[in-house]
Amino acid sequence: MCGVYAMLSDSHQFSSELQKAVSCLAQTEMLILKNVLASGQKSGELRSVVPPDELAIIVCSALKGALMLNRIPPHDAYTGAVDALMMMLDART
């Protein structure tokens, strides 16, 4: 999905059909993530007082940003971001 987010920054230059398709893909990813997070909150597996919609944006942004930072040494930003997110959200800790 990172390619889709990269395309969003230039989507105003796309045909309306491509704009709609790119937007739909991004919205679908966010909906899936929101539903997973909401399910985890409901079951008590995830700890968070943040609504699932906003939490999905935070998680998605952290992971996308870490993927970009992972391209430069020491190439471990993504692993660190995932570990940090899990520590922040895990209700067992």
Give the angle subtended at the CA of 20 by the CAs of 13 and 4, to the nearest 5°: 75
DSSP state of 12: G
> Domain residue spans in the chain?
2-89
- The encoded tokens of residue 55 equal 């939490």
Contacts of 26 (CB under 8 A, 6+ apart): 1, 4, 5, 8
Per-residue pLDDT of the chain (93 residues; tens, 9 = 90+): 567 777 777 778 889 998 898 889 989 999 999 999 999 999 999 988 899 999 999 999 999 888 888 889 989 899 999 999 999 888 776
**pTM here?**
0.79
Report the SS3 class of residue 1: coil
